Amino acid sequence: MEVAEFQDLPECPVRMLQSPLEFGSLWEMASLAGAQTVIEIGSLYGGTLWYWLQLPTAAHVVTVDQLTEYEPPRTEVLADRERWHRWPRHDQILTILEGDSHSSKMVDQAAVEPGTAGLLFIDGDHSYEGVKADFELWSPLVRPGGIVAFHDTVPTEWAHEPGVVQFVNELKKQHSSVEWFDARNGGVGITAFLLGQ
């Protein structure tokens, strides 16, 4: 039987840095929307990537990531990344792209037709210029009514990504949005936009 609720999923085999309440709400939104193609910018250990592959309707999942010197110990990250190829179901395609998400060549390598993706999750370069570039390059791949979501959208006493917050606030003036914030468990906010609405 297909899983439609985040809480019914098995435990993720690798670390996930997002609040389960925030991310679970986005996951259920994508499940209800019937997202068949999911694009994730920034995967690190692969926790959210694993969850996207659990979407009942997910047929093609794309991850775009580039390790930097500012991330956790590379041995841990690389060990978890070794598992990624084993995660897709037999009816799924997983496209792993290692490199700069701000490159149009990377967009071409994703092999996703413009206007067809059900979800774009942006959690990579957290500078204003970086998050804006990811949105401008990758959002044309999302279908009308599809979801574009961002992580780190709520400033808190324990974390603040001003570039992401600024860009998301600008988008809120153009598109309808929903935001989840789990203050009790160290969340930093996820904001989702429905394109064309």
Give the CATH number for residue 163: 3.40.50.150
Q: Is residue 79 part of a domain?
A: yes
Least confident of 25-39, 66-80, 160-174: 66-80
Q: Is residue 6 part of a domain?
A: no
The gap from C-alpha 82 to its chain's centroid, in whole angstroms, comes to 19
How many Cα atoms occupy the beta-carbon half-sphere of 46 within 13 Å?
25
Q: Write down the pLDDT at residue 195.
A: 83
Q: Is residue 3 part of a domain?
A: no
Q: 10 Å Cβ neighbour count for 60?
A: 20
Q: Is residue 55 part of a domain?
A: yes
**Cross-strand pairs, 151:** 190
Angle in degrees, CA 97, 101, 102, rounded to 5: 150
Number of domains in the chain: 1
Q: Domain of 85?
A: 14-194
Reported as a single tens digit per residue, the pLDDT across 64-116 is 998 766 566 678 888 999 999 999 999 999 999 999 999 999 999 999 999 99
pLDDT band of 45, cuts 50, 70, 90? very high
Q: Is residue 82 part of a domain?
A: yes
Q: Is residue 72 part of a domain?
A: yes
User: Which are the contacts of 193, defined by CB distance < 8 A and separation ≥ 6?
Assistant: 147, 148, 149, 171, 175, 176, 177
Q: Is residue 9 part of a domain?
A: no
Q: Is residue 5 part of a domain?
A: no
Average pLDDT score over residue span 128-155: 97
pLDDT band of 159, cuts 50, 70, 90? confident
